[in-house]
Amino acid sequence: MTYCYRKLYLSTQYMKIIFIILGMLLMSQNLLADISSEENKKVQASQFTKVVADYKLPEVNVVRQDGKKLSFLKELNDGRPVILNFVFISCSAICPMLSHILSKVETQLTKDGQKFHLITISIDPENDTPSALTVYAKKFDAGVNWDFYTSTREASLTIQKAFKAFRGDKMNHASLIFLRPFAGKSWVRLEGFMSPDDVVAEYNAMLKTQ
Amino acid sequence: MSSKIVDSLNIDLKSLDRKSKRGLFSVLLVTMISLVGVEISAASPNPDEVEIGRKIYMEGVLPSGELLKGVRQGAVQVEGAQAACETCHRRSGMGSLEGNFAVPPITGRFLFANEDDRPLALVDTRQPKDITRAHKPYAESTLSKAIREGVDVDGKDMNLLMPRYALNDNEVKAVTTYLRQLSSELAPGVGNDSLHFATIITQNVKPEKSDVMVKMLKAAFGQRNSSQQTYSGRMRMPLDLIPRQLRKWELSVWELKGEPETWAEQLSEYYRREPVFAVISGVSNGTWSPVSKFCQQEKIPCLLPSVALPPDEPSFYSLYYSKGVALEASVLANHLRAKDKNKPRRIVQIYRDDEVGRGAVKVLSEALKDSSVKVENRIFPEKLSENLKNIFKGLSSNDTVMLWLKPTDLVAVNKENHKQFPRVIYVSGFLAEEDYGFVSKEWKEHVRVVYPYELGEKRRKNIAGMQQWLKSWSIPLVDQVFQSEVFFDVLLLTDLSSQMIDNFYRDYIVERAEDMLGIGSNFSAYPHLSLSRGQRFASKGAYIGRFGSDGKLVADSEWIVPE
């Protein structure tokens, strides 16, 4: 089953009016210097697509941030629901954004008492060594439920291709997050601009439908 | 000034809540504005606006010293270096590609010019139709709205990746001033109808190597100069139809003589006489440090020279194929560590006491520091006529050695040691330069090559294109790896220049190379070449190779990428 939708909180016209009013308000209070995130948040929109899909996943080895060599399938199928994404450390905008989102997702789901496994796969594995991934994980306050994996270049390509996430080169990477309740079930593929709340909502919705 | 005011009011900013802070800020702003007149009349130095803009753009630091803050995608706060404009629009301001999103150029020439006067730029090479976006010219007020509110000059919401920035009027103005001067003039070495490059040859490089490099570069430049209007006569590729200035490529050969300490002066003199846009290729037998320093100092892109040990210093403008012998040393350390119980008790490194030898030895020694493998280092005598016996003293057939030596030295070692030799003899693939004549029948089983290039069928396929090209230009094949590097360099350069259209800025060519290196066919002797923002070494691993029964080098390990 495949379906797409776009969430637009506000129409463009409506946003324009809000901007004008906000602008006037700010000007009058001499506050242009400090546009807070709350105000921005109101006029932003999440834009992502959701697809439910089955992927045939490969039996390859990966190396976790602590240097341990592991089976990719075993890591996926350890019984916990999985949230998976792809990044590379030297990526400037999309990957840090995705990692930031996952960081918030981890905090929220931990708070909710959920059992889950966040899996981040490097798409520049020759550069993103385990020690480099450890530093990266720290930067995004990764907790115990979030692991980062490197591998050989071939294994990384195989995994990306299996998730239909390979676009020919690391520079062409997309903003993707994959969710799966447990082994043998279909994946939920989210693509585009989503907020941490969107991901948590999709995660909870996925668990509910099982 | 503002800190003084805060001090005099004796207020602890951190203890205030957000609203009070805002109120205070408004008061401060008004006070500051009213004081500006006084400041100017008192002729106190105004902070340089370009520098303020640069710090915001490049580092994400506000004039107050606080971090630049923005909100990306409606919810994701970014600050400091992560929020800096440079992360996406890059140092040159010429934009980049973020996944599926083309980040547009934002220098003054692109933002403020009328559409007819606006230069052309291609951000997404997959979409050659999407050249420079048509938009109304920005004014300072509309740019301010884009930076703070994420609404573009046409009133449309900008991409959600673009942070909405918390900047005040003065800060926006400083950024604007910075953008107006950024990449506003073409770089030295770029003429109206010419584009000047140099290649660099250091002393003691074998003449057949330097000659073949110059021959290849000249042939490639000639080929490019005679066919720059359309690609193989077709008018199909949109990229080739983009109107551009026709520029003839010119090549200078800079030969460095004498002691490396004198090279800086020689380079400056060459550069004074012939300003070049970039250095392409280049070859050294030993140190490259003075060249790298010169390129960094003069901000000259130094694209992929063939050197055995790139200098261990951060440099934006120098890109390399790999870390050379330092990479080999790290790979060997990884390989030995992975042997678990079969690890050798000790490894004896034998090296020439020069920059390359010392560099390699140091890396391996450090990489094995906390392992059970004892590292012992012995210097190879300066003159071959000296007795070689000393350096093999106490070595038995149970030992493991790493010979950081070139073929002539290896031949001498083999001659000396042809009866009783160590169990495993590691040699450097870089230093061996594909010349394995030293591997005698007795040694064959024992020699392992730390080999940073591709092997077998894949290698044959990779370099087949170059071999054909050499034939068509009647250029001899002297050194396959080295020549494949030179060949790759010119292919990359033609791709880069074609995609840069007329935007010949030095930072831009480095950024394009970072992004593009891994895209397109691999015609090099390496398995894979790729760079990214901040990465300076395109190949990151090596095989451990051994000699097969047919005498050919085959992989004895997986491709090892060290930590």
Site from B2, B19, B21, B76 to mutate, A interface, most A CB atoms within 10 angstroms: B76
Residue B539 belongs to a domain = no
Residue A188 and residue B309: Cα distance in Å, rounded? 48
Give residues with Cβ within 8 angstroms of B560, minimum separation 6: B331, B334, B335, B541, B542, B543, B544
For the stretch B524-541, pLDDT in tens is 999 999 999 999 999 999
Name the minimum distance, in Å, from the CA of A115 to any CA of chain B: 25
By C-alpha distance, which of B441, B428, B418, B209 is closest to B330? B428
A170/B530 CB distance under 8 A: yes
Beta-carbon contacts of B425 under 8 Å, excluding residues fewer than 6 positions away, are B401, B403, B443, B446, B447, B448
Quick one: pLDDT at residue B26? 47
Query: Are A63 and A70 a contacting pair, CB within 8 Å?
Result: yes
Each residue's pLDDT tens digit, B463-497? 999 999 999 999 999 999 999 999 999 999 998 98
- Domain tally for chain B? 4
pLDDT classification of B389: cutoffs 50, 70, 90: confident
Q: Is B73 in the A-facing interface, judged by CB distances under 8 Å? A: yes
C-alpha B341: how far from chain center: 39
Look at residue B35 in the predicted model and tell me its pLDDT. Answer: 40
Does the pLDDT at position B356 exceed 50?
A: yes
User: What is the pLDDT of chain A when averaged over all its residues?
Assistant: 83
Q: Taking Cα atoms as reference points, which of B448, B437, B429, B452 lies closest to residue B524?
A: B452
Confidence of residue B183 (pLDDT cuts 50, 70, 90): very high
- Range from A42-56, B113-127, B301-315 that averages highest in pLDDT: B301-315
Cβ neighbours of B532 in A, within 8 Å: 88, 90-91, 124, 127, 170-171
**Interface touch A171/B72, C-beta < 8 Å:** no
Q: Residue B417's domain is classified under what CATH number?
A: 3.40.50.2300
User: CA B181, CA B178: separation in Å to the nearest integer?
Assistant: 6
Looking at the structure, tell me whether residues B461 and B394 fall in a common domain.
Answer: no
Closest-CA distance, A120 to chain B, in angstroms, reads: 17
Residues of chain A found within 8 Å of residue B535, distances taken between Cβ atoms: 90, 127
Show Cβ contacts of residue A63 under 8 Å, excluding neighbours closer than 6 positions. A69, A70, A130, A149, A150, A151
Q: Is B414 a member of any domain?
A: yes
From B526's Cα to the closest Cα of chain A, the distance in A is 14
Q: With H, G, I as helix, E, B as strand and everything else as coil, classify residue A2.
A: strand
The residues near B211 (Cβ < 8 Å, ≥ 6 apart) are: none
Question: Contacts of residue A173 in chain B, CB cutoff 8 Å?
Answer: 99
Least confident of A22-31, B209-218, B289-298, B511-520: A22-31
Interface probe with B: pick from A14, A95, A97, A176, most Cβ of B within 10 Å? A97
Evaluate if residue B557 carries a pLDDT over 80: yes
Which structural domains are found in chain A, ordered by start?
Answer: 12-45 (no CATH), 48-209 (3.40.30.10)
Is residue A4's pLDDT more than 80? no
**C-alpha separations of A135 from A89, A156, B220, B356, B537 in Å:** 10, 20, 43, 30, 20
Q: Which residue has the tokens 């960081």?
A: A103
Q: Is B473 domain-assigned? A: yes
Three-state secondary structure of A108-147: HHHHCCCCCEEEEEECCCCCCCHHHHHHHHHHCCCCCCEE
Question: Which among A140, A51, A48 is positioned nearest to A87, based on CA atoms?
Answer: A140
Q: pLDDT digit string (tens) for A166-208?
A: 877 777 788 899 999 999 999 999 999 888 999 999 999 999 9
3-state secondary structure of B319: strand
Q: B471 and B422, same structural domain?
A: no
Interface with A, mutate which of B17, B140, B159, B160 (most A CBs under 10 A): B160
Q: CA B19 to CA B379: how far, in whole Å?
A: 70
Percentage of residues in chain B having pLDDT higher than 90: 69
In tens, the pLDDT along B73-103 reads: 667 788 999 899 999 999 999 998 887 788 9
Check whether residue B302 and residue B204 sit in a common domain.
yes
Interface of B with A in 134-163 (CB under 8 A): 148-151, 155, 157, 160-161
Instruction: Give the distance from residue B73's alpha carbon to the nearest chain A alpha carbon, in angstroms.
Output: 7
Q: Give how far B561 is from chain A: nearest CA, Å.
A: 6
In a domain, B538, yes or no: no
Residue B561 to residue B538: CA distance in whole angstroms: 12
Residue in A closest to B86 by C-alpha = A92
Residue with tokens 């042809």: B418
**From the list A91, A153, A173, which residue is nearest B528 (CB)?**
A153
The neighbouring-strand residues paired with B209 are none
How confident is the model over B197-216, as a mean pLDDT?
Answer: 96
Q: Which residue of B has its CA nearest to A98?
A: B76
Name the residue among A29, A31, A94 with its Cβ closest to that of B99: A94
* Coil, strand or helix at B525: coil
B99 contacts in chain A (CB < 8 Å): 94, 167, 171-175
Integer Cα distance of B132 and B449 in angstroms = 50
Q: What single letter denotes the amino acid at residue B232? A: S
Does pLDDT of B190 surpass 60?
A: yes
Residue B117 maps to a domain: yes
Per-residue pLDDT tens for B6-61? 333 333 334 444 444 444 444 444 444 444 433 333 333 345 899 999 999 999 99
In a domain, B116, yes or no: yes
The reply to whether B485 and B364 lie within a common domain is no
All residues of chain B having their beta carbon less than 8 Å from the beta carbon of residue A44 are: 71, 73-75, 160
Q: Which of A140-149, A161-170, B512-521 has the highest mean pLDDT?
A: A140-149
Residue B199 pLDDT grade (very low, low, confident, very high; cuts 50, 70, 90): very high
> Would the CB atoms of B18 and A33 count as touching at under 8 Å?
no
pLDDT of residue A20: 52
Residue with the larger pLDDT of the pair B388 and B334? B334
Same domain, B61 and B167: yes
Same domain, B247 and B353: no
pLDDT value, residue B226:
87
Task: Return the pLDDT at B378.
Answer: 95
Q: Report residue B151's pLDDT band, with 50, 70 and 90 as the boundaries.
A: very high
Residue B446 lies in a domain: yes
Same domain, B261 and B241: yes
Provide, as residue numbers in chain B, all residues whose Cβ is less than 8 Å from the Cβ of A15.
Answer: 157
Chain B hits for A169, Cβ within 8 Å = 518-519
Are the Cβ atoms of B77 and A129 closer than 8 angstroms?
no
Q: Give the confidence band of B368 by pLDDT, cuts at 50, 70, 90.
A: very high
Nearest-CA distance B557 → chain A (Å): 13
Whether residues B508 and B405 share a domain: the answer is: no
pLDDT for B129 equals: 65
Residues of A in contact with B100 (CB under 8 A): 167, 172, 174
Res B243: pLDDT? 73
Of the pLDDT bands very low, low, confident and very high (cuts 50, 70, 90), residue B121 is confident
Q: Which domain holds residue B358?
A: 325-451+544-555
- Cα–Cα–Cα angle for A150, A152, A156, rounded to 5 degrees: 70
C-beta atoms of A93 and B534 within 8 A: no
Same domain, B208 and B224: yes
- Reported confidence tier of residue B130, pLDDT bands at 50, 70, 90: low
Percent of chain B surpassing pLDDT 70:
87
- Is B159 found in the same domain as B65? yes
Residue B234 has pLDDT above 70, yes or no: no
Residue B110 lies in a domain: yes
pLDDT tens digit sequence for A34-74: 333 333 333 345 689 999 999 999 999 999 999 999 999 99
Average pLDDT, chain B: 87
> Do A195 and B73 lie within an 8 Å CB cutoff?
yes
Look at A10-24, A83-97, B433-447, B464-478 and tell me which has the smallest mean pLDDT.
A10-24
Of A49-53, A91-95, B419-423, give the lowest mean pLDDT range: B419-423
Kindly report the nearest CA distance between residue A34 and chain B, in angstroms: 5
By Cβ distance, the residue of B74, B98, B563 closest to A44 is: B74
Using the Cβ of B66 and the Cβ atoms of chain A, whether some distance falls under 8 Å is answered with: no
Cβ contacts from A onto B, under 8 A:
143
State how far the Cα of A23 lies from the Cα of A177, in Å rounded to an integer.
Answer: 35
- Please tell me the predicted confidence (pLDDT) of residue B240: 65
Kindly report which listed range (A157-171, B83-97, B174-188, B366-380) carries the lowest average pLDDT score: A157-171
Q: Which of A35, A94, A169 sits opposite B166 (nearest CB)?
A: A35
Which of A183, A85, A64, A175 has its CA nearest to residue B73?
A: A175
Q: Is there a contact between A124 and B25 if contact means CB atoms under 8 Å apart?
A: no
Find the largest Cα–Cα distance for chain B: 90
Distance from B453 to chain A by nearest Cα, in Å?
15
Using CB atoms and an 8 Å cut-off, which of residues 92-121 of chain B contact chain A?
96-101, 103
B277-287: average pLDDT: 96
Residues of A in contact with B88 (CB under 8 A): 92-93
Smallest CA–CA distance, residue A50 to chain B, in Å, is 17
**What is residue B301's three-state secondary structure?**
coil
* E strand segments, B405-511: 424-428, 447-451
> Is pLDDT above 90 for B390?
no
CA distance linking residue B441 with residue B450, whole number of Å:
20
CB contact under 8 A, A32 and B148: yes
Chain A residues within an 8 Å CB radius of B72: 93, 97
**Inter-chain touch A173–B148, beta carbons under 8 Å:** no
Pair B64, B97 in one domain: yes
* CA separation for the pair B407, B421 (Å, rounded): 17
- Kindly determine whether residue B99 and residue A175, on different chains, have CB atoms separated by under 8 Å: yes
Q: Are residues B60 and B144 in the same domain?
A: yes
User: Between chains, do A32 and B161 touch, taking CB under 8 Å as contact?
Assistant: no
Check CB contact of B534 with chain A, cutoff 8 Å. yes
Q: How far is B452 from chain A (nearest CA, A)?
A: 14
**The pLDDT of residue B7:** 38
Q: Residue B550, SS3?
A: coil
Mean pLDDT of A81-89: 96
- Tell which of B139, B154, B181 closes a domain: B181
Contact check, Cβ <8 Å, B78/A96: yes
